[in-house]
Structure 1
Amino acid sequence: MNDIAATTGPRLFGDHFLRTLDAQERATVQRVRALCKHTIGPRAADVAREDVFAWDAFRTLAREGVIATAFPKAFGGTDARQALRIRIIEELGRVCSTSASMITGTDLSSRAIVAGASESFKQRLLPGLCTGELQSAFALTEPGAGSDVRGLHTTLRRTADGYVLNGRKKFITRATTADWFVVVGRAEESPSTFIAVLVPRDAAGFSISPEVGKLGWYGVPISSLSFEGVQVPLAQRLGDEGEGFSLAQDALLRARIGHAAMALGRAIGAVEIASSYAVDRSSFGKALGEHQGVQWMLADMVTQIESSRALLALTADKYDRGDSDVAIFASMAKLQATDLCMKVVTDALQLTGGRGYLQDFPLERFFRDAKLNQIGEGASEIHKTVIGRDVVRRAATAERNACLRAGSLVDY
């Protein structure tokens, strides 16, 4: 761990979470940290000025092998553990939401291909996806269905040699740059059966809308998709019929962990900026940071961020081990980190006053970007419902607290 500190100097937030990484993994973090310091960070403000795909950032991440961390070694990737991936995303999120989202978006858009494509399609697509020569997009959300995957209306009708795809998708990231699309829909003959398929961008009957403007997260534009009688060969199905839902859930699980890491990285960056300002700025005859009120604000921020980092580290470990409860922990980590990020960025902007509101100051960009983390890959309210239902379900059979006497609590 000292190898990173020696090359970059001490930071406000320590490297204690790197202790579980091996030497090669720590070297990867060091390489990403150097990229952030010398390339991605200095260019982040330029990326955020226009909502067009940030090709320079993407090509840099691909060239440096960061994109490849999402893919198996057999196809040119590094098959990185989530314990490493969250550190990478946190580093990128600290300076540039666009770059961080490209890493989480790679998981979301390609995980179903890694898990469910035929061997021939893996050989055809994965090497190019690793190097950035190809891009894929994940087409799940619809005008009337987002977090509720079971509300999808897109259908796939079985034919002698494949499927006919009909439906619409919305809020699709990378739509205008993707070569292939992972599309999830229902079997027309059996609506409870979910199917995932691969669709090339030039498929007949497939159209992509112009890019849609949005509040933040510039550099990764979104569009809507339309499928009208699109012919999909059987070889382009991902997994078996009925596995579309599980393939989508795994992609979303990894993306939720990524969203939490990105939000924490941005929160860390916001506190670094606000605390530097508190040291530089004088108010009422002393440095802003010497005022107790400011110190208490910073204390709350740092304490809550470190707590959330610990929850996320635990969640990543659970994913890497294949624990059965990882989905609930991913919901908790995503909920905690993204809501916290919105609060921290807002407080950091408040602490920096009028400067924080300027477009020339990074916190304006951080503020606009923070909101989408609370919405994307399941809104905070959805995750609260998921977590609450799980608690109630488990409470019915869980060991009772030893302070309680036997019988129903209603009888107290």
Structure 2
Amino acid sequence: MNKTGTGTGTASRLFGEHFLHDLNQPELDMLHKVRDLVESRIGPNAHKVAEKDEFAWDNFHLLAKEGVIATAFPNEYGGTDARQVLRIRIIEELGRVCSASASLITGADLSCRAIVAGATPQMKEQLLPGLRSGKLQAAFALTEPEAGSDVRGLKTSIRQEGGEFVVNGSKKFITRGTTADWFMVVGRLEADASRFVAVLVPRGAAGFDISPEVEKLGWYGVPISSLRFENVRVPAGNLLGKVGDGFELAQDALLRARIGHAAMALGRSIGAIEIAAAYMNDRTLFGKALGEHQGAQWMLSDMFSQVEAARALLSVTAQKYDRGDTDVAVYASMAKQQATDLCMKVVTDALQLTGGRGYMKDFPLERFFRDAKLNQIGEGSSEVHKTVIGRDVIRRSTRAQRNPTLREGSLVAY
């Protein structure tokens, strides 16, 4: 296997391999495996996945069989417990060609992280080997009609009755709703609404209703549904963590998912630039290649430079997560907001550079364009993350080192 990170082909890649220095040899081997799959199977078939919004079973089974899904799971249950510095590279690689495939990897974090962190030993033994191998699927049931980015707006209630928990409420925009075997459901404790509870609900539970799949603009291959719970009873052993741990369990899953969304968006940006640059070499305009025109070069310059900068921020964020740094959450917000907003701009500009061809359904950029928007919305909208980042800066500035150019006292006295 090639150890330089250039994949199976002999040609160098348009974007540099500098971030691969963070990876050890087993991690590089896994990334090369993903690159091989992208080149031989996932990339060439990406247009088929995008034809109908049906779960991408072939890609899911392929990624499970090749151990890529297993990177989200602990070693003791057959996983590889991969570091985030590897997972962002895997997601970026898949996002370069197929949003659905990248989402299958981020979805493993979102739907299973709370099970890894909070399930009883018995439930872990029952579920994790199957979730790791692809024999089982789980869904993350958090969002509600009136509560998305604001988790504290949840209205689903969970009460404890003897040896059971009883769930009432509804969830919306739930990925894998029609394919999941188990659902990680977060709600408020009925007896104390200030406390959140997370429980596992099996697909066939009495009183649990899953809606038909809901049509959406893009991101085909990962359908969404609504859920309804009417006095749904689950045993006490299905509790994740302790009563009151639901919010923290959800936040950890969302943190990893936000890092994943950033990686996915950057992968799509890379793919869009690769496609646009190739087109600019092939397309002739006013007697010379489009890529020889200064205006087009300047557009490409901005796109390329900004993507490399965003990749650097995401790498720092992944390193912070792997070290357990206390400020990783705000860095995840920065990486997610910057990468996803940038992706929307890059894909739009790439489509502009490719003109009418880019607008056609048989050309990948049309699909990239439709898929890009959801990254700006899912796992916290860009506006929510800007608020998180701004609040953090203001809070820390009150105790941060004062700029040496300033006089003592209040700045309003200047």
1:141 pairs with one of 118, 140, 143: 143
- Map of 1:317 onto structure 2: 319
Residues 288-307 of structure 1 mapped to structure 2, 5 A cutoff: 288-307=290-309
Amino acid at match of 1:139: A
Offset at residue 6 of structure 1 (A):
6.8
Whole-angstrom distance in 1 between the partners of 2:118 and 2:248? 10
- Map of 1:13 onto structure 2: 15
Could you report, residue by residue, the CA deviation over 1:85-111 in whole angstroms, capped at 9, with x for unpaired residues?
Answer: 000000000000000001001100000
Amino acid at match of 1:7: T
Give me the identity figure in percent: 70
Residues 45-124 of structure 1 mapped to structure 2, 5 A cutoff: 45-124=47-126
Unaligned runs of 5+ in 1: none
- Map of 1:388 onto structure 2: 390
Residues 225-240 of structure 1 mapped to structure 2, 5 A cutoff: 225-240=227-242
1:411 aligns to 2:413 (yes or no): yes
Secondary structure of the corresponding residue to residue 350 of structure 1: helix
- Map of 1:34 onto structure 2: 36
Amino acid at match of 2:205: A
- Map of 1:286 onto structure 2: 288
Could you report, residue by residue, the CA deviation over 1:208-251 in whole angstroms, capped at 9, with x for unpaired residues?
Answer: 00000000000000000000000121100000011100000000
1:212 pairs with one of 211, 214, 222: 214
- Map of 2:196 onto structure 1: 194
1:369 aligns to 2:403 (yes or no): no
Amino acid at match of 2:5: I
Secondary structure of the corresponding residue to residue 183 of structure 1: strand
Whole-angstrom distance in 1 between the partners of 2:166 and 2:334? 38
Secondary structure of the corresponding residue to residue 42 of structure 1: coil
Whole-angstrom distance in 2 between the partners of 1:164 and 1:241? 13
Offset at residue 266 of structure 1 (A):
0.1
Amino acid at match of 2:358: G
Amino acid at match of 2:15: F
- State whether residues 7 and 32 of structure 2, in contact with CA within 8 Å, keep that contact through their aligned partners in structure 1: no
Whole-angstrom distance in 2 between the partners of 1:20 and 1:53? 33
Whole-angstrom distance in 2 between the partners of 1:157 and 1:199? 14
1:253 aligns to 2:255 (yes or no): yes
Amino acid at match of 1:4: G
Offset at residue 398 of structure 1 (A):
1.0
Whole-angstrom distance in 1 between the partners of 2:54 and 2:8? 34
Aligned-pair Cα RMSD in Å = 0.8
Runs of 4+ in 1 over 3 A off after TM superposition: none
Q: TM-score, normalised by structure 1?
A: 0.99
Whole-angstrom distance in 1 between the partners of 2:257 and 2:346? 22
Q: Residues 21 and 229 from structure 1, CA distance in 2 versus in 1: closer, same or farther, beyond 3 angstroms?
A: same
Could you report, residue by residue, the CA deviation over 1:114-133 in whole angstroms, capped at 9, with x for unpaired residues?
Answer: 00000010000000001000
Q: Residues 353 and 6 from structure 1, CA distance in 2 versus in 1: closer, same or farther, beyond 3 angstroms?
A: closer
Offset at residue 386 of structure 1 (A):
0.5
Q: Residues 352 and 6 from structure 1, CA distance in 2 versus in 1: closer, same or farther, beyond 3 angstroms?
A: closer
Secondary structure of the corresponding residue to residue 209 of structure 2: strand
Amino acid at match of 1:52: E
- State whether residues 167 and 233 of structure 2, in contact with CA within 8 Å, keep that contact through their aligned partners in structure 1: yes
